[in-house]
Chain A
C-alpha cells in the first residue's frame, strides 16, 4: 500500500487578483510533501467546491486579500454542508483582521492565517487537522 498524502486545494475566490501569497504557500506545502492544487484566480464558491470534490482534497485553503472573507467563507461553509463534504478542513489566509478570526472559527473554519503567519505554523496546523 502506498503512503497516504495530504491533498490541499489552494483557492482564490471572488474578485481578488493578488495571488503571489497563494503561490508561495502552495509551493511551501509541496515542499512539505503535500499534493497541492492551485485553483487559479476568480473562482466562484461553486467552482471551488466542485474542484474539492473531484480532486478529493483533504483541505481547502481560501486565499482572500480583498476583505470579502466573511461572506465568501460563509457561502463556502454552507455549500460544503449542502454537498455533504464537511469532513474537508477549511483554512483561510490573506488579509484578515484579527477581530474577524473568532467569527470565522464559529463558522467552522479550522484555522486562520493572516498575512505574516510563519509558513511552518500553517504547515503544522494543516497536518494536525488532517489527523483528527
Chain B
C-alpha cells in the first residue's frame, strides 16, 4: 500500500473489507502513526458494540469459555469478533498463538473475525493496540467483541478499561487466597467464574473467593459462578449474567475512560523517555555524575523529565500532527 489515505482505509473497513481491517490492526501493533489516524476516523462511529473481557491465569479455561460465549451469541445471529492476546516470550521476542485451537465451535460461526495479538511487553499493558483493534472490529460491523487477556500480573488492570464487562476465570488449583490477592485478579472482575468444578476442593475454593470478595468490595458482590466449561455445566447461568449486563446502560464510564487515558498517556510518555535516554548525549554525562556520586538517582530522574519538558519535542512534533 503506497501512501494510503486514512480516510480511505477507514471507509474500506466500514464497508467490510477484512484484508484492510487486518492490515490496520497490524499497523497498530507496529505503532505506525497512520493506523492511529484511521482510528481517529472510525472512532465517532463506535460505542454500540458490547465488549466482553475475559481474563484469568493460564490454563483456567478462558478459551473454552469464550468458545461457548461466542457460540451463544453466534446462534442468536450476532456478528462477533475475538481478540486473543497471548504472551510474548520476552527472551526471543517470538510468540506461539494457541488460542485459536480451542475456539473450535466459534471458528464455524458465520462471519466471525478472530485475531491473535502478542502482548509484546507494552508497558501500559494491552491497552494501546487492543483498544484500536476493538474499534476496527466494531467498524467492520461486529456487535459482540470478546477480548481474551493473559492472566498474570498488573496488565489485568487495563483489560477493564476496554471492556464493558470483565469475566475473571479461576480454577480450584489456582492456589490459596494470598496468591489471589497478590495477583489482583479479584479486584477487577465484574463476574468471577470458578471453572473446573469437577476438581477436588472446588467448593471450598469457591467459599474462599466469596469470602474474599465480601471483605474487599463495598457493594453486594456477585456470587461466584460455578462451571465445568468442558461439559457446559453452569454456562447457562454465565450467559444470563452477561446478558443482564448487556441490557443495562453502561455505568462508571467516565472513571474507566479516565483510567484508560492515563494508561495511554503513560505509554506515550514512556516512549519519549526511552528516546531521550537512548539518544540524548546529556544522559551519559548525567549517568557519569551519578556514578561519581555527584548527584543521586532521584535527582537524575527528575532531570531527565526536565529535559523532556524543555525540549518540547512532544509538543512540537506530536501535537502538531494531531491538529
Point out residues on A near B: beta carbons under 8 Å.
Answer: 1-5, 7, 26-27, 29-40, 47, 51, 53-56, 83-85
Contacts and interface: CB of A to CB of B under 8 A. Distances in A.
Nearest to B23: A56
Interface in B116-172: 116, 118, 120
Interface in B63-114: 89, 92-98, 100-101, 104, 107, 113-114
Given A2-B31, A31-B92, A54-B115, 14 more contacts: A1-B30, A3-B30, A5-B118, A29-B94, A35-B94, A35-B95, A35-B118, A36-B94, A37-B116, A38-B100, A38-B101, A47-B107, A54-B22, A55-B22
B26 A56 contact: yes
B13 to A, nearest CB: 13
Residue with the highest number of chain B CB atoms closer than 10 Å, among A1, A27, A35, A40? A35
Contact of A40 (B96, B100, B115): B100
Given A2-B31, A55-B116, A85 B19 contact: yes
Nearest to B27: A56
A37 B31 contact: no
A30 B100 contact: no
A39 B95 contact: no
A40 B102 CA distance: 9
Contacts of A38: 96-98, 100-101
Interface of B: 18-19, 22-23, 25-26, 29-32, 89, 92-98, 100-101, 104, 107, 113-116, 118, 120
Contacts of B23: 56
B95 A36 contact: yes
For the complex of A and B, 7 pairs with smallest distance between CB atoms: A30-B94, A56-B22, A30-B96, A33-B94, A56-B26, A2-B31, A37-B97
Nearest to B28: A2
Contacts of A51: 100, 114
> Chain B: interface secondary structure?
mixed
Nearest to A58: B26
Nearest to B81: A54
A35 to B, nearest CB: 5
Contacts of A85: 19
A7 B30 CA distance: 12
Residue with the highest number of chain B CB atoms closer than 10 Å, among A1, A36, A51, A56? A56
B31 A54 contact: no
Contact of B94 (A34, A39, A47): A34
A26 B22 contact: no
A70 B185 CA distance: 50
Contacts of B115: 54-55
A89 B114 CA distance: 21
6 contacts: A31-B89, A32-B94, A33-B94, A53-B19, A54-B113, A84-B19
A26 B97 CA distance: 10
A26 B30 contact: no
A27 B101 CA distance: 15
Contacts of A40: 100-101, 104
B114 A54 contact: yes
A129 to B, nearest CB: 17
Nearest to B86: A35
Contacts of B18: 53-54
B148 to A, nearest CB: 14
Contacts of B96: 26-27, 30, 36, 38
Nearest to A28: B94
B58 to A, nearest CB: 16
Residue with the highest number of chain A CB atoms closer than 10 Å, among B96, B104, B116? B96
B317 to A, nearest CB: 13
Nearest to A34: B94
A130 to B, nearest CB: 13
A96 B34 CA distance: 43
B120 A39 contact: no
Nearest to A29: B94
